[in-house]
């Protein structure tokens, strides 16, 4: 492509420029080649506000970058008159790389980046007007937590009552709504105190010359809204504003865009979408059907607001999908039609119908995982690369069963965008407590949890303890008795906790040991107060399930030496799984991820697992406004990740929160047309295991009124004491009973491990 001589025309107070058309008709034809009609219409739109509804796999990135290239190459705007906003640095880099390939221009100085990146650039250029030092620093999420902890300590605030993570979430949520502390609503005494801490945190950050991520956008918005000459400067510079993933914008991001687009100045326009000389053209690309980040503050309603407030005359739908086969798209369309208030589109492809969607109903979550891994191995044998196979799940806790089966089968895998189950923080904390119960001389475990949850044991106390242990050539645990003063009292309290836990769990089955430990160590209470605590608690419950399954597998294979305790064997098992089969960079590996993490990705083969009511859609959806619709959009995203083959699986029973749960298929399965599905249930791959001694007793109770265990029978449990059996269900290895323990409440217990004795 040859750059011809061009005349540069300067406009505006900062010399924003546009070029007369420098490209030949042949070059222009190359630029627009291979665009389908809706894509071509979007790229070549006249200078008006536009909304592009870009379905999954419809080429939105191509449309965005080609639109920018078209505007520049036709002389409508210069490179420095473009503002393009993405949601990830990866997307911004990809856009710049594509532009460099399309146009012979230097893209380095162009304003293309994420909201946070562009706001940082704006504040660096105008730090004085923004009230910041020239070299202000940015706090990442870890730094922000540290700053909040310092604040709470300085103000002598109980961080158990005001957990740092929860307070950070409170502050960030208000900033994302554009609400400073003086305007925050305090509807009770607790919230009033949080608002005061928000104000103190802001003051501390200002003194120290630092800003957090949420502050970047809020400070940038305030700078432009309060400084009219500066705002007009940028409004006249940026003649075209292009936004990717518009459905993921929050209220403040949308307000920032409206400000830069000169929305206030254009309200007097007489024609819909008309652009006055002081305004910019807003070109928004998004998909309301893929809005899945409400928990981060995303407002899918911004798309309708944009259409109304900017009097958008051009709504173009990109519906031709270049990713998936027809059956997959037809399933996605049928599902999402159940959502109300959609802007509306229907995906299609000319790639053919492809294969039917495979549906598998498993007996249990373990059976489901075995099926998935067996299929993965078959797919690999049939020539599918490991990297083109993705296992998706709604909740991170579900990965544990899949990881275990992959590990057992020797299949390399990678957890995308997250940690393997046994590497997660909350799991490592719980395992550290278990290790200390089993071996008090384990200094690594001791150091990890001696002050977690926080017990006022600071770094100086730990240094003193380490020195004492070194002098005595002993473990940290044994050296604790030598500490005096406040440090000695704090560490001594922790030692007593471990000794109490050891005594209380001595006679309990392993799953109940873990349950008791999570409760009494303070881990459960700690994570209840965290913003992301719900997911961490689900993972801790899954650790109980892992122990239950481990004991059963150990019983089946008789792999445990007689002298090894169940606790020691389980800890060894956890260490081995944590250290194996996570593929390295560049290594062929199956991809595991949550559906949220899968957005923007695509694979030849996709498994969507755990399609059961209460799991997907999640229980919490029923408690939130439009929660079910957000879950349906999440399922839509999951389906449209698949190119060639899609598997949907669910289980009749699943271990959740440490208990066996009897499951119903997800309502999303009911919303898919039957003619698109092929049920592939095989003869059960599992073999019913030999029932335990106690399970046999309960089964016999169904036949003999004189049996030891029966409904109404008084029983005794090592942890909960005396109780009475009020209900029973399941057979064989899955038999369990519901027992009323009076003050301890009603408990469901697996007979295989509960060790109930007649009272």
Q: What are 613-668's pLDDT values in tens digits?
A: 989 998 877 777 788 999 999 999 999 999 999 999 999 988 876 667 788 899 99
What is the predicted pLDDT for the residue at 695?
43
DSSP label of 148: H
Classify 219 in phi/psi space as left (phi over 0), alpha (psi -120 to 50) or beta: alpha
Catalytic residue among 245, 403, 541, 752: 245
Burial of 226 (C-beta count, 10 Å sphere; 0-12/13-18/19+):
exposed
- Would you list the DSSP string of 305-358? HHHHHTT--EEEEE-B-SSS-HHHHHHHHHHHTTSSS------B-SS---SPEE
The question of whether 61 is a catalytic residue gets the answer yes
The question of whether 744 is a catalytic residue gets the answer no
- In the chain the first and final C-alpha atoms are separated, in Å, by 89
Question: Which residues, including other chains, have CB under 8 Å from residue 711's CB and lie 6 or more apart?
Answer: 701, 725, 726, 727, 728
Question: Which residues, including other chains, have CB under 8 Å from residue 201's CB and lie 6 or more apart?
Answer: 147, 148, 151, 167, 171
The question of whether 245 is a catalytic residue gets the answer yes
Name the β-bridge partners of 746: 740
Catalytic residue among 175, 194, 400, 641: 641
Query: What pLDDT, in 10s, does the model give residues 485-511?
Result: 777 788 888 888 999 998 998 888 888
Own/partner long-range contacts of 483-487 (Cβ < 8 Å, ≥24 apart):
486/461, 487/457, 487/460, 487/461
* Cα 450 to Cα 190: distance, rounded to the nearest angstrom: 29
* Cα 640 to Cα 333: distance, rounded to the nearest angstrom: 10
* Cα 230 to Cα 58: distance, rounded to the nearest angstrom: 38
| pTM for the whole structure | 0.74
- The helix (H) or strand (E) run that includes residue 189 is helix 189-208
Catalytic residue among 39, 65, 290, 349: 290
Token pair listed for 354:
């492809």
Is the separation of the CB atoms in 700 and 381 below 8 Å?
A: no
What is the predicted pLDDT for the residue at 683?
41
pLDDT mean by block of 10 residues, the chain; 759 residues: 31 36 57 89 91 92 92 89 90 88 84 90 92 86 86 87 89 93 90 94 90 93 94 92 94 94 53 51 92 84 91 90 96 95 91 95 92 95 94 91 91 83 86 87 83 80 82 83 76 88 88 90 83 79 84 62 69 68 65 92 96 89 81 96 97 78 90 94 48 42 45 78 74 72 76 78
What is the predicted pLDDT for the residue at 557?
52
What is the predicted pLDDT for the residue at 175?
94
Cα torsion 299, 303, 308, 311 to 10°: value is 140
The question of whether 345 is a catalytic residue gets the answer no
The question of whether 460 is a catalytic residue gets the answer no
* Cα 385 to Cα 588: distance, rounded to the nearest angstrom: 7
Catalytic residue among 48, 60, 239, 599: 60
Catalytic residue among 61, 204, 387, 408: 61
* Cα 631 to Cα 617: distance, rounded to the nearest angstrom: 6
Catalytic residue among 166, 215, 244, 631: 244
- Would you list the DSSP string of 36-95? -HHHHHHHT--SS-EEEEE-TTS-HHHHHHHHHHHHHHTTSS-GGGEEEEESSHHHHHHH
The question of whether 244 is a catalytic residue gets the answer yes
Is the separation of the CB atoms in 436 and 477 below 8 Å?
A: yes
Q: Pairing between strand 357-364 and 642-656?
A: parallel
């Amino acid at each position: 492509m040859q750059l011809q001589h061009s005349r540069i025309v300067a406009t505006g107070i900062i010399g924003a420029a546009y070029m007369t058309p420098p490209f030949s008709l042949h070059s222009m034809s190359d630029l627009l080649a291979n665009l389908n009609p809706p894509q071509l219409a979007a790229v070549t739109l006249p200078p008006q506000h536009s909304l592009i509804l870009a379905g999954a796999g419809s080429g939105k990135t191509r449309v965005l970058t080609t639109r920018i290239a078209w505007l520049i190459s036709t002389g409508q705007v210069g490179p420095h008159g473009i503002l393009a906003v993405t949601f990830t640095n990866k997307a911004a880099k990809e856009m710049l790389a594509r532009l460099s390939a399309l146009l012979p221009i230097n893209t380095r100085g162009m304003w293309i980046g994420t909201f946070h990146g562009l706001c940082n650039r704006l504040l660096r250029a105008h730090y004085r007007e923004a009230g910041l030092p020239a070299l202000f620093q940015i706090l990442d999420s870890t730094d922000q937590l540290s700053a909040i902890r310092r604040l709470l300590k300085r103000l002598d605030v109980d961080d158990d009552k005001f957990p740092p993570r929860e307070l950070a979430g409170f502050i960030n949520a208000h900033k994302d709504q554009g609400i400073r502390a003086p305007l925050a609503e305090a509807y009770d005494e607790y919230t009033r105190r949080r608002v005061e801490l928000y104000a103190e945190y802001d003051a501390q950050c200002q003194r120290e010359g630092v800003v957090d991520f949420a502050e970047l956008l809020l400070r940038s918005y305030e700078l432009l809204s309060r400084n009219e000459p500066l705002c007009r400067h940028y409004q006249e510079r940026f003649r075209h504003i292009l936004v990717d993933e518009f459905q993921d914008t929050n209220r403040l991001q949308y307000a920032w865009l409206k400000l830069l687009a000169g929305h206030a100045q254009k309200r007097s326009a007489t024609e819909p979408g008309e652009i006055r000389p002081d305004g910019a053209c807003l070109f928004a690309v998004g998909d309301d059907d893929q809005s899945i980040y409400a928990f981060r503050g995303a407002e899918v309603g911004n798309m309708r607001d944009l259409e109304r407030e900017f009097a958008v005359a051009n709504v173009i739908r990109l519906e031709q999908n270049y990713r998936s086969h027809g059956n997959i798209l037809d399933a996605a369309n049928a599902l999402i039609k159940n959502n109300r208030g959609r802007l509306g589109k229907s995906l299609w492809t000319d790639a053919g119908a492809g294969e039917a969607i495979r549906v598998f109903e498993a007996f249990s979550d373990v059976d489901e995982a075995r099926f998935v891994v067996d299929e993965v191995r078959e797919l690999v044998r049939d020539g599918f690369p490991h990297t083109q196979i993705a296992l998706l799940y709604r909740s991170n806790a579900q990965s544990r069963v899949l990881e275990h089966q992959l590990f057992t089968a020797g299949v390399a895998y990678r957890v995308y965008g997250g940690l393997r189950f046994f590497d997660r923080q909350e799991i490592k904390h719980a395992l550290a407590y278990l290790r200390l119960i089993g071996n008090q001389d384990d200094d690594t475990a001791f150091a990890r949890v001696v002050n977690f949850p926080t017990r006022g044991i600071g770094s100086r106390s730990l240094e003193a303890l380490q020195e004492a242990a070194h002098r005595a050539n002993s473990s940290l645990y044994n050296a604790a008795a030598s500490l005096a003063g406040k440090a000695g009292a704090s560490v001594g309290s922790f030692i007593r906790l471990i000794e109490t836990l050891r005594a209380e769990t001595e006679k309990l089955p392993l799953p109940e040991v873990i349950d008791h430990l999570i409760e009494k160590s303070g881990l459960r209470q700690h994570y209840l107060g965290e913003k992301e605590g719900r997911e961490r608690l689900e993972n801790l419950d899954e650790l109980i399930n892992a122990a239950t399954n481990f004991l059963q597998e150990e019983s089946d294979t008789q792999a445990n030496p007689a002298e090894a305790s169940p606790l020691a064997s389980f800890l060894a098992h956890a260490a081995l799984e944590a250290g194996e089969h996570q593929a390295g960079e560049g290594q062929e590996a199956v991809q595991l991820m949550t559906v949220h993490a899968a957005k923007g990705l695509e694979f030849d083969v996709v498994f969507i697992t755990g399609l059961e009511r209460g799991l997907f859609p999640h229980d919490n959806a029923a408690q939130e406004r439009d929660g079910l619709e957000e879950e349906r959009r999440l399922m839509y995203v999951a389906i449209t990740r698949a190119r060639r083959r899609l598997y949907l699986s669910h289980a009749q029973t699943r271990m959740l929160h440490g208990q066996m749960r009897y499951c119903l298929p997800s309502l999303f399965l009911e919303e898919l047309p039957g003619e698109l599905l092929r049920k592939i249930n095989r003869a059960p791959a599992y073999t019913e295991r030999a029932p335990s001694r106690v399970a046999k007793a309960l089964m016999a109770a169904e036949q003999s009124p004189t049996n030891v265990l029966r409904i109404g029978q008084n029983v005794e449990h090592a942890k909960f004491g005396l109780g009475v059996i009020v209900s029973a269900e399941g057979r064989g290895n899955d038999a369990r009973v519901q027992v009323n323990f009076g003050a301890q409440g009603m408990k469901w217990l697996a007979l295989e491990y509960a060790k109930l004795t007649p009272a």
